[in-house]
A and B are shown apart, each in its own frame.
Chain A
């Protein structure tokens, strides 16, 4: 009875803490400007099924995809057992879902196999990060102390949680065997290890209790660790894919405020719509392009909370491959760090801040903005807008849109484009061509052109 009460209190605190953190993150994301992305629900659900639930883009790299798939499915299925643990914990029942009979047996069996696969996959992931050092996971300006530690913490916790589950199952199974009754469910792996902890009832009971509590407390702790971690993607991947861009990747958004200005220039009778008003009834003056996080849309900020720092974007970036400073992953990680610096602290602890961790290898300034304070013009000007990063991202993050918005600020608000680009702009303005050729020569290519007449 006391156990049940303690459990209930712990569960309420853990869930409450999680909700409190989620509200902070929501507030952070809402620093971004509003943008309606409610169109085409059918297509959006389709993308969510394929890309988020179906992991379609993960399979561009099959080996990590298969291992990740084990962990992903393990997470989904093992949650059913977590539900049982919650009910058992609150009401003092024992394996309450056991009434489902054969269904429960299959569920528990699948659970055990998945738990083993999760352990194997996480172990291989640890090796990839720390021993074979897969370049995209081990190197890069943004892969400073915290992201590496974060990854190792996640993988270790997942392994330990699964081990706790096995400890509970093995000792539970052995106690049932000793008592001569049958435990509901089937436990193919624990059954093979049934004698692991000996046959002393007291010891077994302690281990089972410890395993059970450790597993559930571990899950509560892990849940509250998520908002501080890249592992938050397990939640954010789904809404992020749902709200991802449906238009062809080549379409960059149209800046509406500029459209009204130009229409007014071309047609003096054109009446631009009245500017939107803020809560105090003052017109909202929006910058052209983005200097800081509030100049990005909520979706661009949501991207930052979805990133799991896998580095597939950076790994295919032509600028990064050829040694330029640009790393699309850094753009997204910087956005998250800046969002938390400027807005709320979602975390119980404060691990994410760029400037507090590791050596600073990109020459940022002391400006308190995303641009220059985190992301430098040199990085932005290295982008070829090739969309390789966007194509590579397993959770449909649009790194390119943020790069372009930051570029827009440099050009439109600061006139700070590289001088050669300014020359190109003047050519377009003066002669309607990207090069300094007179417009009157535009049709000269057609001179003296012959075609062979075939019979």
Chain B
């Protein structure tokens, strides 16, 4: 019988108090901290971090919105306020390397923070998980078997087109030994879930159809029973799209970290 251990998630402040620095800062993001569905992804990712024994920490209550949604919505002023405040905090802790499960946080910290004085090595959790699997630190066994299950991956715009990361999440899914199927619009031609550019926080403009429904139809058309995503907003949109088509009992949306934690038997 395997036993369960209570996790005490370490913070940067605790490391600093002991005069130490972790190897990597896990940037949780607003969705990972507050959205009930995505909190499960955060927890799954922390289980993986604990399992492989990497020295990590989070900012905890010192973390604040990256400012990304404000920037996409045109509010450059608010974005820069947020960014500079976060940079001050992270530079004070001498942060060097950041991992995050949110492509939007990933993109803005990696690409837009350097102009404002924040220079870090930033990796998305898909790349991080890919490395763990390649290094054999995660065996992807001992838990739920996904063998033969039909999975389709929905590309996040801010991971894919924005940063050319297409293979890492697919490599992670390949480790599940599942039946991976592609949607017609995938990789560089992937269709947005509809949440980007701050659409997440507003009603769509008038039109014929919601974008997430269009995308969910495409995903359901592959016959997959699992839609894998790697972005909190894609997850919300795809979930809603699947519900719109009354398929929520047959098709589930999971983040790649949840699938790995589950296959590894960590939950």
Is B19 an interface position by the 8 A CB rule? no
Given contacts A259-B80, A450-B4, contact A385 B72 (CB under 8 A): yes
Stretch from A69-77, A79-87, A214-222, A411-419 at the B interface: A411-419
Q: Which residues of B contact A434 (CB under 8 A)?
A: 30, 65, 69, 200-201
Residue A452 lies at the interface, judged by CB distance under 8 Å to chain B: yes
Most B CB contacts (10 A, CB to CB) among A262, A384, A385, A424 go to A384
B residues within 8 A CB of A449? 6-7, 9, 43, 46-47
**Contact residues of A between 222 and 280, Cβ < 8 Å to B:** 247-252, 254-255, 258-259, 261-263, 265-266
CB-CB < 8 A to B194: which residues of A? 318, 322, 384
Q: Which residues of A contact B206 (CB under 8 A)?
A: 323-325, 378
> Which among B28, B69, B111, B195 is the interface contact of A251 at CB below 8 angstroms?
B111
A382, CB-defined interface residue at 8 Å: yes
CB 8 Å contact bits of B5-16 with A (1 = contact, 0 = none): 111010100000
Q: Judge whether A443 and B33 touch: CB under 8 Å.
A: yes
| B215 CB, min distance to chain A CBs, angstroms | 8
Q: Known contacts A259-B115, A316-B189, A326-B205; decide if A443 and B58 are in contact (CB<8 Å).
A: yes
Please choose the segment from B155-163, B173-181, B251-259 that sits at the chain A interface, where 4 or more of its residues have CB less than 8 A away.
B155-163
B133 within 8 A of A: no
A29 contacts across to B, CB distance below 8 A: none
Partner pick for B203 among A404, A420, A443, A445, CB 8 A cutoff: A420
Is A181 an interface residue when CB atoms closer than 8 A count as contact? no
**Is B92 located at the chain interface by the 8 A CB criterion?**
no
A265, A408, A454: the one within 8 Å of B74 (CB): A408
Chain B contacts of A390 at CB under 8 A? Answer: 161
CA of A372 to CA of B161 in the docked complex: distance in angstroms?
30
- Min Cβ gap A361→B in Å is 14
The complex places the Cα of A259 from the Cα of B5 at a distance, in Å, of 46
With an 8 Å Cβ cutoff, the count of chain A residues facing the other chain is 75
The answer to whether A387 and B80 touch (CB under 8 A), given A382-B205, A424-B73, A451-B47, is no
Check if A451 sits within 8 Å of B5, measured CB to CB.
Answer: yes
Docked-complex contact A384 and B2, CB < 8 angstroms: no
> For A407, what are the chain B residues with a Cβ–Cβ distance below 8 Å?
73-74
B121 lies within 8 A of chain A by Cβ = no
Residue B250 interfacial (CB < 8 Å): no
Minimum C-beta distance from A30 to chain B (A): 25
**With contacts A410-B74, A449-B43 known, is A432 near B82, CB below 8 A?**
yes
Q: Are A425 and B207 in contact (CB under 8 A)?
A: no
Q: Name which residue of chain A comes closest to B189, CB basis.
A: A316
* Any B CB within 8 A of the CB of A437: yes
Contact of A450 among B7, B58, B80, B208 (CB under 8 A): B7
Whether the pair A391, B74 counts as a contact (CB closer than 8 A) is no
Contact of B84 with A263 in the complex, beta carbons under 8 Å = yes
Asked if A367 is at the interface (CB within 8 A of a chain B CB), the reply is: no
* A433 and B204 in contact, given A384-B194, A421-B73, A453-B2 (Cβ under 8 angstroms): no
A262 cross-chain contacts in B, Cβ below 8 A:
77, 80-81, 84
- Give A404 to B76 CA distance when docked, in angstroms: 10
Known pairs A324-B206, A407-B73; A446 contacts B7 (CB<8 A): yes
Q: How far is the CB of B14 from chain A (nearest CB, A)?
A: 12
| Cβ B208 vs Cβ A412 within 8 A | no
Q: Does A321 contact B (CB under 8 A)?
A: yes
Assess whether A250 is in contact with B162, with CB atoms less than 8 Å apart: yes
Whether B201 and A254, one on each chain, are in contact in the complex, defined by CB atoms closer than 8 angstroms, is no
B-chain residues with CB within 8 Å of residue A382 when the two chains form the complex = 204-205, 207
Cβ contact within 8 Å between A258 and B80: yes
Interface residues of B in 46-75 (CB under 8 A from A): 46-47, 50-51, 58, 60-61, 63-65, 67, 69-75
- How far apart sit A429 and B28, CA to CA, in the bound complex (Å)? 19
Q: Contact at A424–B111, with CB atoms within 8 Å?
A: no
- Which residues in A have their C-beta under 8 angstroms from that of B264? 454
Complex Cα spacing A448 to B205, Å: 41
A383 at the interface (CB under 8 A from B): yes
Asked if A322 contacts B65 (CB within 8 A), the reply is no
Measured CB to CB, the residues of B under 8 A from A are 2-7, 9, 11, 28, 30, 32-35, 39, 42-43, 46-47, 50-51, 58, 60-61, 63-65, 67, 69-78, 80-82, 84, 88, 107-108, 110-112, 115-116, 142, 157-158, 161-164, 188-189, 191-192, 194-211, 214-215, 264-267
A to B CB contacts below 8 Å, 30 in the list: A60-B189, A247-B111, A250-B108, A250-B158, A255-B80, A258-B76, A266-B88, A316-B189, A318-B215, A319-B205, A325-B207, A326-B205, A382-B204, A384-B192, A386-B157, A386-B197, A387-B161, A407-B74, A408-B74, A412-B74, A424-B198, A434-B30, A443-B58, A446-B9, A449-B9, A449-B43, A449-B47, A452-B3, A452-B47, A453-B2
Q: Report, nearest first, the 8 A-B pairs whose CB atoms are least far apart.
A: A250-B162, A323-B208, A407-B74, A385-B197, A432-B64, A386-B192, A323-B207, A251-B111
